[in-house]
Structure 1
Amino acid sequence: MEIYSFFMLVSLIWIHKETVLERLKPFRIPIILFSIFVVWVWVQQLALPVSVIELVSPNSYALFKSAEVGYGMTISVDSTQTKTSLLKSASYLCVFISCLLLITTPSRAKQVMLCFLLAGVWQATYGSFEALSGLSRSLVFDLPVKNIATGTFVYRNHYANFLVLCLSMSVGYLVSTLETRSLPTNRARLRSILTTLLNGKALVRVCLAIMVIALVMSRSRMGNSSFFIAMTITGLLGLYLIKNKTRGLTFLIISMFVIDIFILSAWFGLDKVQERLVATSLEQESRDEVVRDALPLLGDFAVTGSGMGSFYGIFPSYQSENIRLFYDHAHNDYLQFAIEAGIPASALLFALVAMCLYFAIRAMRVRADSIMRGVAFGCTMAILSAAIHMTVDFPLQAPANATYFTTILALSLLCTKVKRESRRRRSKRHNAEGHLWL
């Protein structure tokens, strides 16, 4: 993934070498924020003079001294893991910039949403099949199979978050296909319904149902909660912000709740998710104790961080005796980023995400193009769901999720920048899509 992302960006810069700076100029602030973070991760793993380490990161210096390391000290307490994180972070930056260079028209944005849809359906179909098939070992990692869907992921919460990201963009795709004007007669409404059945919207709705079933079968409490909370918030925002909206948007939002929650999900284990939510208590869960024990880490490494990827190695020396499990992550991405990168560097990333969310919400209000409005809807829903999920888990530690989330951030910035296609070009695209669906 890293090699491909590096090669892709270098190729794009070479192809557009005369216009690349002009193309990226509207996005210079987000790119700078992202780039500074990556540069800081690079600095964390550099071998620096002992006097510099003692000055900028006294706690890292103390740890190296206790291990009798007299030279080659780094800000990171685990430079090997930080180098790995550096490669991943640089890869995500390359994906981010590549998306900004490639997605230049609404039709391309729509193709990206279709990629999310196809990836989500594939994972949902495979995960559901594996959970229902009665197999004893998984086909991908040869792990024990339970009656819980995990797809090609090891951790079910990563699987659930991936599905939520794909679901969000798929809902955005469906929003982009809705009528942009009210239909005056019953005949016109009937014609619209028949068109919906013929041009692929019904198939998309079936795909959404398949993903919701798999999401429920993952038994992920926060995965399911974040999806439905984000869908509710985004739906209300869409009803309030989108101009010239029709009954289709309202019907879509209501149908997502009625069909997915009360009918489809009830058949595939929503009651089990509810049981897990009800049974959840602070006495049974140790994640809150992990957060509690990790807070001193934040105090010790607030400015420079302990080094990206170092949490699993340094946390055991801080955890209390009543935590008997091994935690390689903080189960709170906000806290883990702040511990590993430091509060200033983490603030840059959070500012980037907040900026992308603002542009997505703004695009729902100002954009007249139905495709970009659907992209804005999907991006808003995806960012909100990830923000909710990150409070109790670590969804962005999985490269697949982080890559898809990075693509969504790029799409959010493009919502207000990509120009509307001409009527002639849009007509050709609609005809091509109609033939493709048929």
Structure 2
Amino acid sequence: MRAPLPWPATLVVAAIALALPFMLGNRTMDAMSTSLLLLTSGAFLAALAALWPGRHALPGPDRAWLVFAGVFTALILLQVAPVPALAAAFGPYPEALWSHPEFAPRHWSPDVGATLRGWAAFVALFTVAWIAYSLPAGQRNVLWLLLAASAVFQAVYGIGAHAMGSDTILGIWERNNPDSVHGSFSNRNLFAAYLALLWPLAVAVWWIRDMPLLDRRSKEIKIAGSLITSAIIGAALLGSASRLGSTAGLLGMVIALVLWSRHWRVLRGAPVWPAYLALGAGLLAAAWYGLLPLAERLLQTGLHDGRFEIFGLMLTEFPLAWWVHGVGLGGFEAAFKQIQPGHIGQWWDYAHNDLLQWLVEMGVIGAALLVAVAIALIRAARPSTERIALYAGLAALALVSLADFSWHIPATQVVLAMYIGTLLRSAAGGGRRKGDGGIKT
């Protein structure tokens, strides 16, 4: 007898993923609070729906997942514990501060509130990843279809608003980059990273077996649909004039094409030429809409960019001990202010390099957790239309993480959590499921 499908948990996760892109890329105080509230409360409801005893319950996380969460949580508890000895040993406080008569650091983390908010986001994303890991293929396909629709909507809205010269987002918030396409996100870089993450999947949904609404369409409709989808996303992505986001998006699509081509025999022997046409359609649409702003920004790229100076300061001015034990999750801003030169007057709450920021905030233990996830993803790798699209999207966002902070944005984080949870299904654990078919034309 077929097991009942966990629709309640799936729909809650889908609602979170569709709502978060409208939180302005988490770049205003109100949006930051609302995004975190939406993410954590939604994940809590999804967990209740998934674990509630009855016909829709999912199996709980296995030991490896619990060990990972336990190590992360234990480190966070140490960072926020009111223990002066920990603050003295690991806290990123200047020597002069210890001699201040009215201040005595009590916490390892210089920003306990940011650390706790980071932990709350981790718990929520852990929950989303576990649900994605546990869902059957049919339920995941619903999520992928909705995410692809979200990417297309963001692209269409972004192009439309830009073409009409709108200086607001949804008629409410002022745009930071009115001369560029950036959908409902606060700036073009965050928007481009979101599309780069989803572009390969938006093409793949037309060819994944048992995809709702699409699987029974004719070959001609699937080819046309994948070309139109790719053209819209490609035009919006390159029209954003985001140098790194555009490069990452193209890289993700190329990786997907290479892997689909290499494994086409495993993907049920089907040809992959429609995917090549889809990439071509995206590039042609981008050229038609206009590539001059992106080209001009590419020509201006150089080491004079402020973020490269930030990287250099982190690597040369941060004490080695900070890289070993970490300054505390969310503690980058407070730590960086100690070495921030006077000519850099901007608000650097993020390092614009998610990898460096993670390492300096979480130290060796954080690096070990990151390596553990990477190893698990590599070990679980196997070819399928779905999984190749997810790996390609991850590769695109990995490139973005080297000079931006999209991994800190909830709209992107929740998609990443779905991707990682799905990809952690090993070949032995997941088997070859019905939804893993190849690009079939």
**Structure 2-normalised TM-score?**
0.79
8 Å Cα contact 1:304/1:342 also seen in 2: yes
1:43/1:410 CA distance change after superposition, 3 Å: same
> 1:149 and 2:184 equivalent?
no
Question: Following TM superposition, where does structure 1 have runs of at least 4 consecutive aligned residues deviating by more than 6 angstroms?
Answer: 16-19
Q: Secondary structure at the match of 1:409?
A: helix
Residue identity opposite 1:13 in structure 2? L
**What is the aligned partner in structure 1 of residue 22 from structure 2?**
none
Structure 1 residues 209 and 390: CA distance shift in structure 2, 3 A: same
Specify the alignment match of 1:108 in structure 2.
Answer: 139
The residue that corresponds to 2:48 in the other structure is 10
Written as runs of structure 1 = structure 2, the 5 A alignment for 1:152-301 is 152-176=184-208, 195-198=218-221, 200-244=222-266, 249-261=271-283, 263-283=284-304, 285-295=305-315, 296-297=317-318, 299-301=320-322
Superimposed CA distance per residue, residues 297-345 of structure 1 (whole angstroms, 9 cap, x where no aligned partner) = 3624123322222222331221234434332211110000111122321
1:384 positional shift: 0.6
Query: Contact 1:127 / 1:149 at 8 angstroms: preserved in 2?
Result: yes
**Would the aligned equivalents of 1:239 and 1:245 in 2 still touch at CA under 8 Å?**
no
1:241-274 Cα distance to aligned partner (Å, 9 max, x none) = 343458864413432342222x111012223212
Q: Please give the per-residue CA displacement for 1:58-105, whole angstroms capped at 9, x wherever unaligned.
A: 54485762555666711101112112212111111111122223x12x
> Secondary structure of the residue that 2:218 maps to in structure 1?
helix
Cα distance in 2, alignment partners of residues 117 and 95 from structure 1: 18
Cross-structure match for 2:400:
389
* Contact 1:287-1:331 at 8 Å conserved across structures: yes
- AA aligned to 1:195 is S
SS, match of residue 194 in structure 2: helix
The one-letter code sitting in structure 1 at the alignment partner of 2:185 is: F
Q: Deviations over 1:155-200 (max 9, x none)?
A: 221111111122122233234259xxxxxxxxxxxxx9x92134x4
Residues 68 and 250 from structure 1, CA distance in 2 versus in 1: closer, same or farther, beyond 3 angstroms? farther
What's the RMSD between the two structures over aligned residues? Answer: 3.0
Q: Note closer, same or farther for the CA distance 1:279–1:247 as it changes in structure 2 (3 Å cut).
A: farther
Kindly provide the amino acid, as one letter, of the partner of residue 407 in structure 1.
Answer: M
Q: Partner of 2:166 in structure 1?
A: 135
CA distance in 1, matches of 2:319, 2:209: 46
Identify which of 33, 52, 60 aligns with 2:68: 33
What code does the residue aligned with 1:418 have?
G
Q: Is the Cα contact below 8 Å between 2:230 and 2:281 reproduced in 1?
A: no
Shift of 1:208: 2.3
Cα offset, 1:34, TM superposition? 4.4
Percent of paired sites with the same residue: 20
Per-residue CA deviations over 1:138-157 (Å, capped at 9, x if unaligned) read: 32652146121221211221
Q: Note the alpha carbon deviations across 1:411-438, whole angstroms, 9 max, x for none.
A: 112363435567xxx9xxxxxxxxxxxx
Query: Equivalents in 2 of 1:395, 1:82: separation in Å?
Result: 18
Task: Determine if contact 2:203/2:229 at 8 Å carries over to the other structure.
Answer: no
* Deviation (angstroms), 1:282: 1.2
The offset of 1:294, in angstroms, is 1.6
Q: Which runs of 5+ in 1 are unaligned?
A: 179-191, 365-372, 427-438
The equivalent of 1:310 in structure 2 is: 331
Q: Say which SS state the counterpart of residue 132 (structure 2) adopts.
A: helix
Contact 1:175 1:249 in 2 (8 A): no
Whole-angstrom CA distance in 1 between matches of 2:112 and 2:267: 53
Q: Which amino acid aligns with 1:125?
A: V
In the alignment, the residues of structure 2 paired with residue 412 and residue 35 of structure 1 have an alpha-carbon distance, to the nearest angstrom, of: 21
Alignment of 1:363 onto 2:394: no
Asked if structure 1 preserves the Cα contact closer than 8 Å seen for 2:227 and 2:281, the reply is: no
> How many pairs are equivalent?
390
Which one has a larger percent helix, Structure 1 or Structure 2?
1
* Structure (1 or 2) with the larger CA radius of gyration: 1
Of 312-321 and 10-19, the range deviating more from structure 2: 10-19
CA apart distance, 1:278? 2.0
Q: CA deviation at 1:137?
A: 2.6
Question: Separation in 2 of the partners of 1:408 and 1:107?
Answer: 15
Per the alignment, residue 96 of structure 1 pairs with: 129
Partner AA of 1:387 in structure 2: A
